Structure 1
Amino acid sequence: MTDTSVLHPGELSAADRTAWTAMQSKAHLHGAPELANPFLSPEFTLALGRYRRGVRIAVVREGGEPAAFFPHQRSATGVGRAIGLGVSDSQGLVHRPGFEWDARELLRACELAVWEFDHLTQGQAQGPFDPGVTGSFASPVIDTQDGYDAYLAHLRKNSPKFLKSTLAKERRLTRSVGELSYVHDERDPAALRTLMRWKSAQYRRTGRSDRFTQPWITGLVEHLFHTRTESFSGLLSVLYADGKPVAAHFGPRSERIISCWFPAYDPEFAKFSPGLLMHLRIAEAAAADGIAYIDLGRGQKQYKDSLKTREIMVSEGWMMRRHPVALGHWAHRAPVRALRNTVVERPELFEPADRLLKRIGEFRSGRFRM
């Protein structure tokens, strides 16, 4: 017999949290390795619940035992969003092997008219959520479970010019600035503040919206930085040249996956591509730690194409019940999302749009020249 209870984050019991983590830890053994993504962890959901309203966790039990966990956000009108929509890179249902569910029945149990997602995990887009999928997109990954030497061998075969030029820049950076050092798990909060400052400047420089002007995102990142359990931590990695930080990355990690979230570098050293050098160091440390892969995140970028070993797919869309709220939400959101995807997926549209955003960034920073 199946029973679904919808909990506030503070109502999740220690036993349920342990069961949730266990499902993630064993997911790769049951053919669903993507369920181990740190964005699907209880730690991420509970942290988000401190900074965003409407965070809920549906716990589905069979025979009294947890069979699935469905974290989501809910508005007063029943509009549901994937947990952390807009900042999370993996979304969906964490469940035990063989668990089956009806998506619309799940929404009804959660009192949701619609559930919107933009990074639905691979595997669930072809399952119960399939009717709501409007598009699927590649998320490049770096496989590290076979060791760093195997990864370098892959780069030599598939991206030889990239690897050669990147290693040459590493040598030039060492000669020009000083010896390089890398801290995989930096615990100095000042280094995190430096990363956020770099990232804010990058957003402004490229004409994007600065995420770190939103207090809830800053609060979430700082909270995750201080979160450390056996199965989850907020990982800050920093590359130094002569003791000075030149590139950094912050993102969540689980037992088997590191999610690339906020990478940035000091523009003063841009000609040396310190961000690429840092990614190679992250891959080396991840391999030594037994990490299966690094998820570089949805989106086509040249550096991701050079670094990746393969791709997984994530999907976006809306799962809806027959409800006027669902139709209203879809009518409001669908045209915006369709326009954005058309621009992003077509180079002849994306490139001029990207140039325009950068020009706007120059205006913002006072660097624009006629």
Structure 2
Amino acid sequence: MRTHVVRPSELGEPELRRWRELRGADPSLSNPFLAPEFTQGVARFRDDVRVGVVEDGAGVAAFFPFERHRGGVGHPVGFGLTDLQGIIADPAFDLPASELLRACGLGVWDFDHLIAAQRVFAPYHQVVRVEPIIDLAAGFPAWEAEARAMAPKTHKTIRYKERKLGREVGELSYDFASAEPDDLRLLMRWKSAQYQRTGRTDRFTRPWIVGLMRHFHETGFGVLSVLRAGGRPVSMHFGLRDGASMAGWFPAYDTEFARYSPGMIGHLRLAEGASGSGLDEIWMGRGGKEFKEWLKSREIPIAEGRVARPSAGAALHWVRHVPLNRLRDKALDNPKFYRQADRVLKGYAKLRGRSA
């Protein structure tokens, strides 16, 4: 096999068609984060995005999108933002990962949401978790019936709060795909406020992420859904759409209406709107949110780990990142530890706000 590295903009229509063919043959690749539009979109705002194109005697066998940083350190495209990662290839595709990295000029490649079934990186898994998926292939009524059966009390409570929100605040309306730039700006403000409340890094202080969101919104690859009460936005969600699949990405709500659980109402409306717009599935992303257990229909194993070839850059990367990652893994795998860590972060955010 031969691998050559190109910028995403250098991929021609035959390569993009092949990329889509490979995804269409494997349901685990249907997630929009693995679409060429995502890699090309990120590349508009970052100069470190590349694609390894692997060829065999029959033509292109695989595409390996990645970011290449100093010291030969590699990451998945949009690392820190993506909820699914992997190589775009046939499920049976197998190539030594070290050989792939060498051909791409990488000494190390980190991953944290990798499709666990992919053979290339299987020896390098350190932790395997799952990503929940809402399955709408049978239609929204069928999915809602399953969700109601899974947690009848929760479903009844959310529907009650939905009716109460309509009575007390104003008639509810839902726009599955708002094209309004003001709505997107509001969602980002809400999300920034959430990051600050919870002690997380505010992603929207990075101009390239703001630009990426606007680009996806303008091109339609990003779908902005808005729940309104009395004409006022109370809950929003920005996800990526490709074909019949959606990747959940940025949900947010107005905290003034928190007592009505607008985020949960928004997720039910999102599923209904997605089904009505021809979508068959919503990938919800890995995370410690209990509501995903109620909403999910199925799940897919995803892995976290790193591939490293012997190099000074790989050794330095291990020292800087691996011990911290292992501590984080313990928090994610232990619900009690996760809640304690969450409280610490929120407490830190309050102290930081008082001293500002």
Taking structure 1 as the reference length, what is the TM-score of the superposition?
0.92
* One-letter amino acid of the counterpart of residue 289, structure 1: S
Kept after mapping to 2: 8 A contact 1:34/1:122:
no
Helix, strand or coil at the partner of 1:178 = coil
Offset of 1:100 from its aligned partner?
Answer: 2.8
Kept after mapping to 2: 8 A contact 1:132/1:320:
no
Using the alignment, how far apart are the partners of 1:348 and 1:94 within structure 2?
37
1:22 aligns with 21
1:265 aligns with 253
1:70 aligns with 64
1:318 aligns with 306
Offset of 1:286 from its aligned partner?
Answer: 1.9
2:339 aligns with 351
Helix, strand or coil at the partner of 2:85 = coil
* CA spacing shift, 1:309–1:196, aligned 2, 3 Å: same
Q: Deviations over 1:179-198 (max 9, x none)?
A: 11111111001000010000
Choose which of 319, 323, 334 in structure 2 pairs with 1:335. Answer: 323
Offset of 1:63 from its aligned partner?
Answer: 3.1
Offset of 1:23 from its aligned partner?
Answer: 2.1
Using the alignment, how far apart are the partners of 1:329 and 1:253 within structure 2?
34
Offset of 1:325 from its aligned partner?
Answer: 2.3
Kept after mapping to 1: 8 A contact 2:116/2:302:
yes
Helix, strand or coil at the partner of 1:248 = strand
Q: Pairwise mapping of residues 281-296 of structure 1 onto structure 2 (< 5 A)?
A: 281-296=269-284
* One-letter amino acid of the counterpart of residue 192, structure 2: S
Using the alignment, how far apart are the partners of 1:350 and 1:63 within structure 2?
49
Choose which of 117, 135, 143 in structure 2 pairs with 1:143. Answer: 135
Using the alignment, how far apart are the partners of 1:46 and 1:348 within structure 2?
40
Helix, strand or coil at the partner of 1:209 = coil
Using the alignment, how far apart are the partners of 2:20 and 2:35 within structure 1?
7
Offset of 1:102 from its aligned partner?
Answer: 2.1
Runs of 4+ displaced beyond 6 Å: none
Kept after mapping to 2: 8 A contact 1:3/1:61:
yes
Using the alignment, how far apart are the partners of 2:31 and 2:102 within structure 1?
26
Q: Pairwise mapping of residues 127-166 of structure 1 onto structure 2 (< 5 A)?
A: 127-166=119-158
Kept after mapping to 1: 8 A contact 2:62/2:89:
yes
* One-letter amino acid of the counterpart of residue 159, structure 1: A
Kept after mapping to 2: 8 A contact 1:78/1:112:
yes
Choose which of 288, 295, 298 in structure 2 pairs with 1:300. Answer: 288
1:256 aligns with 244
Kept after mapping to 1: 8 A contact 2:165/2:260:
yes
Kept after mapping to 2: 8 A contact 1:58/1:71:
yes
Using the alignment, how far apart are the partners of 1:101 and 1:146 within structure 2?
37
Helix, strand or coil at the partner of 1:294 = strand
1:3 aligns with 2
* One-letter amino acid of the counterpart of residue 320, structure 1: A
Q: Pairwise mapping of residues 173-252 of structure 1 onto structure 2 (< 5 A)?
A: 173-228=165-220, 233-252=221-240
2:113 is equivalent to residue 114 of structure 1: no
Helix, strand or coil at the partner of 1:260 = strand
Using the alignment, how far apart are the partners of 1:332 and 1:261 within structure 2?
28
2:89 aligns with 95
Using the alignment, how far apart are the partners of 1:122 and 1:237 within structure 2?
30
Offset of 1:312 from its aligned partner?
Answer: 1.7
Using the alignment, how far apart are the partners of 1:63 and 1:227 within structure 2?
36
Offset of 1:47 from its aligned partner?
Answer: 1.1
Choose which of 171, 193, 215 in structure 1 pairs with 2:163. Answer: 171
Kept after mapping to 2: 8 A contact 1:121/1:313:
yes
Offset of 1:101 from its aligned partner?
Answer: 2.1
Using the alignment, how far apart are the partners of 1:165 and 1:37 within structure 2?
31
Percent identity over the alignment is 46
Q: Deviations over 1:207-254 (max 9, x none)?
A: 2111111112111111111223xxxx1111111111111100112111
* One-letter amino acid of the counterpart of residue 155, structure 1: A
Taking structure 2 as the reference length, what is the TM-score of the superposition?
0.95
Helix, strand or coil at the partner of 1:319 = strand
Helix, strand or coil at the partner of 2:144 = helix
Kept after mapping to 2: 8 A contact 1:80/1:114:
yes
Kept after mapping to 1: 8 A contact 2:115/2:301:
yes
Using the alignment, how far apart are the partners of 1:96 and 1:121 within structure 2?
13
* One-letter amino acid of the counterpart of residue 134, structure 2: I
- Count how many residue pairs are aligned between Structure 1 and Structure 2: 356
Using the alignment, how far apart are the partners of 2:323 and 2:94 within structure 1?
32
Helix, strand or coil at the partner of 1:304 = helix
Helix, strand or coil at the partner of 1:277 = helix
Q: CA RMSD in A?
A: 1.8
Using the alignment, how far apart are the partners of 1:366 and 1:329 within structure 2?
35
Kept after mapping to 1: 8 A contact 2:190/2:254:
yes
